[in-house]
Amino acid sequence: MSAAYFPKRTQVGLEDLFKGLVTASHILHYHGIVDAYGHISVRSPDNAATFYMSANMPPALVGLPEHLIEYNVEDATAVEKDAPDGFLERHIHSEIYKRFPAVNSVVHSHCSHVLPYCVSGVPLKPTMHMAGFLGTSTPVWDISSHYPSASKHDLLVRDTTLGASLSAAFKPATSAGFLYSKVRSALPSQIGGSSEPSHEPDHAVVLMQGHGFTTAAHGIEEAVYQAIYTKEAAKVQTTALTTRNAHFGHVVEGKIDVEGGGKIKSAKVKAEGDLKYLSDKEAHEAWESMLGTVARPWALWCREVEVNPLYRNQCPGFNED
């Protein structure tokens, strides 16, 4: 990990954290994870009961320390009474931090490449080693059965009840401890391992019916990586499904009823050329390998937004005046 944004923390001041959070917002916009909507947050390194995220503004335009707000994990209220207006869906972040002490960064996105898997019933699966963190199943959380009686039915996670329901989807009560927690508990603590699986989500990503997706991680760089490669995995799977269907099509099998005019009896459609996804072991070990390389793409992504005039990060670094 770079710059100690969690969990590797050799020396991190709020100046560095703010600079990294702003950079992450710019990277997520540059790579099409967020547009005018969507957000990233990070838990405070000095107080686990609070977290930071930007004010209610487009992620690409975040650039000053004054644009960042500190919130209480308990109820997503601003620590400072005169804080600017924040995102309505900050409860997504607060409830994940509340449920999972090992999580230090959260990204919420409405990426159009991922949305088909939020509405089609087709499961999002890892098609490549870069997305091993998806495991062999990515849950879809449907808000429609969780609205409080007085809540608007607008698909927005606007309160603690809805946020808590979403956070529970990262570790279903019936789960036996899925891939994500297994990987984390097996890793050295220096790169994000945890000896307390109960503090870890079972899933790195949860899709949201008709809405988008949310990903939870141990640090800013890792959260950005997971968000970007969730998009890339969705793109690869969609292209693979399209290619497969165009090439193979479907075959109808059954018995021909000669007396009935040649109709096919007991017909069934057989698909050919099924996609080959990563196995549980492949996903597990691919993510274990890739996690140690997250600093490499992070350095590239930082440079991409640094040289782009749209993005202005005016937060001072730890060693700057």
CATH number at residue 181: 3.40.225.10
Which domain range does residue 220 map to? 14-248+279-306
Q: What is the pLDDT of residue 176?
A: 41
Asked if the structure places residue 165 within a domain, the reply is: yes
Q: Is-catalytic flag, 89?
A: yes
In a domain, 176, yes or no: yes
The three-point CA angle 96-169-36 to 5° equals 60
Splitting the chain (321 residues) into consecutive groups of 10 residues, what average pLDDT does each group show? Answer: 48 81 98 98 94 98 97 97 96 98 96 97 95 95 89 93 96 58 50 58 97 96 97 97 81 62 62 80 95 94 97 80 43
Domain assignment present for 118: yes
Using the Cα atoms of residue 74, residue 77, residue 80 and residue 85 in order, give the sign of their dihedral. positive
Distance CA 260, CA 255 (A): 11
Question: What pLDDT score was predicted for residue 270?
Answer: 59
Instruction: Flag whether 299 is in a domain.
Output: yes
CA–CA separation, 274 and 271 (whole Å): 7
What integer pLDDT is reported at residue 3 of this predicted model?
A: 46
To which H or E segment does residue 54 belong?
strand 50-54
In a domain, 312, yes or no: no
**Gyration radius (Cα) of the chain, Å:** 22
Q: Which residue pairs, CB below 8 angstroms and at least 24 apart, start in 304-313?
A: 304/27, 304/30, 305/23, 305/26, 305/27, 305/30, 308/26, 308/30, 310/60, 311/26, 311/29, 311/30, 311/60, 311/63, 312/63, 313/19, 313/22, 313/23, 313/26, 313/63
Per the domain annotation, does 9 fall within a domain?
no
**pLDDT value of residue 240:** 94
Does the residue 7 lie in any domain?
Answer: no
Count of domains forming the chain: 1
Q: Exactly one of 15, 70, 89, 232 is catalytic; name it.
A: 89
Number of H helices, E strands in the chain: 8, 9
Sequential DSSP letters for 120-181? SSPPP---SGGGGGGTT---EE-GGGT--TTS--SS---SHHHHHHHHHTTS-TT----HHH
Residue pair 114/230 in contact (Cβ under 8 Å)? The answer is yes
Which pTM value belongs to this model?
Answer: 0.85
